[in-house]
Chain A
Amino acid sequence: MSEAPGFRVEVVSPERVVFSGETTQIITRTIGGGEIAFLPGHTSFLGALTENHTRVWLSDGTIMNLAIHGGFVEVSDNVVTLLSDGAELGSEIDIERARRALERAEELTRTENSTEVEASLRRAHARLAAAGGLAGVNAGH
């Protein structure tokens, strides 16, 4: 892209606009498609998201971490919109709580196997990753 080096990103949950601003790169994860990165000038894109740890590179070089609990991503006209049922900023997440939730979810997966349990595990994982507390638990996911 010749003009602007960055593009707009909007993270919207049903209850509020979680984040809105300029960015240079976004990495998120779609259902079945693995991680996907968006750079300026990405073609129009529509994807369904899984529970994941989304990273947004802000214009000032810092990386913002978000836990996205499912939803959609739409890219059109250099605007990326993340629509999520539940989106949390990494800075708003309580690491201790997230760690306990992950342990609980892992405990559950040992005893029963359902899509709900798996989803809760992925949610807990995404939350902890976004909070930056994952390194100590299991580094190589």
Chain B
Amino acid sequence: MAGGQERILRGRIRSVQATKKITRAMELIAGSRIVKAQQRVAAAVPYSEKITDVVKHLSAGGAVGNSPFLAGRPEVKTTCYVAITADRGLCGGYNTGVLRATEGEIKADLAAGKNYIVVPVGRKAEGYLRFRGYNLGQGFAGFSDAPGHSNAAEIGKYVVDLFLTGQVDKVELVYTRFVSAGTQEVVLRPLVPLGGDLTAAQADDHGAAEAGGDYEYEPDPEGILDTLLPRYVEARVYAALLNAAASEHAFRQRAMKSATDNAEELIKNLSRTMNRARQDSITTEIMEIVGGAEALSSGEDAIVISSVFGMENPFVSSDRV
């Protein structure tokens, strides 16, 4: 009885220890990947800064014209949300944060009588949103922990296509921004049209453009703009993917750390219970032995007596015979 319970507890402790080993390993892996992911975020900064500069110079040079890409459409009927999540779970509230924000935006759009389309990036987004019957565009998955530029290019190409063919009038990115190893936040950033920040850039860059003199263009400014803007969108998507990847690792590390801590706590409690059970069973055993010995010793007298009698019996019997 008591020994049986001890065995069950021992089994549970062993299983929790095995789980702890796994969560500890995942914690360490995520921790080492945060650093790498952070470096990749930093490595992508020069390109996106430079390309932003080029777009600014181009728009400051007055080459922009009235491209819907920059100015946007007068009426926004359909919004496209690019929800960037992980491919895997076990990362705490990382996926839920992004998905909840996306759902909130969709509900607001529906309440305002507008349409939406969601482009899920990462398996978790696709699974969650498809199960709930949301209107999905093409999904992208399989690269959430180490996205490459080609992944961003695919997504960029797809959303630019959606925008240019008029299926959507606005594209927004929902992702987790990596502020520092301790802080990440879910953000909603407009991607297409590029209007907002570039017209602002136009205003504050005017002086610089005049000082820098006129640019020569080859081929023509419009031609450059046509190839430049999709690249710019790709760079923005790439930055978002890298941020999301770094955040995913940070979230996973935290989640796995608390899982490891919980496992330790659980092991401590279980071993206490187990030790008590073992102590109980030892106590019971001692009691049994003592009781047995006592029973024996009181019985031993009888045995001694009986053996004495037994010894004497033959004589007695022989006497009797």
Residue positions of A touching B, CB distance < 8 A: 10, 12-17, 30-33, 36, 43-48, 70-72, 74, 76-77, 81, 83, 85
Contacts and interface: CB of A to CB of B under 8 A. Distances in A.
Contacts of B118: none
Contact of A44 (B48, B53, B213, B223): B213
The A contact surface, by secondary structure, is strand
The B contact surface, by secondary structure, is helix
B218 A45 contact: yes
Contacts of A43: 213, 216
Interface of B: 40, 43-44, 46-48, 50-51, 53-54, 57-58, 148-149, 152-153, 212-219, 221, 223-224, 227-228, 231, 234-235, 238
A83 B43 contact: no
A32 B44 contact: no
Given A15-B44, A31-B223, A47 B217 contact: yes
Contact of A46 (B47, B58, B149, B234): B58
Contacts of A45: 215-218
B155 to A, nearest CB: 13
Contact of B149 (A14, A31, A44): A14
Contact of A71 (B43, B216, B231): B231
Contact of A85 (B44, B149, B212): B149
A47 B224 contact: yes
Contact of B50 (A15, A77, A81, A85): A81
A33 B224 CA distance: 12
B177 to A, nearest CB: 18
B50 A83 contact: yes
A48 B227 CA distance: 8
A45 B215 CA distance: 5
Given A13-B47, A48-B224, A77 B148 contact: no
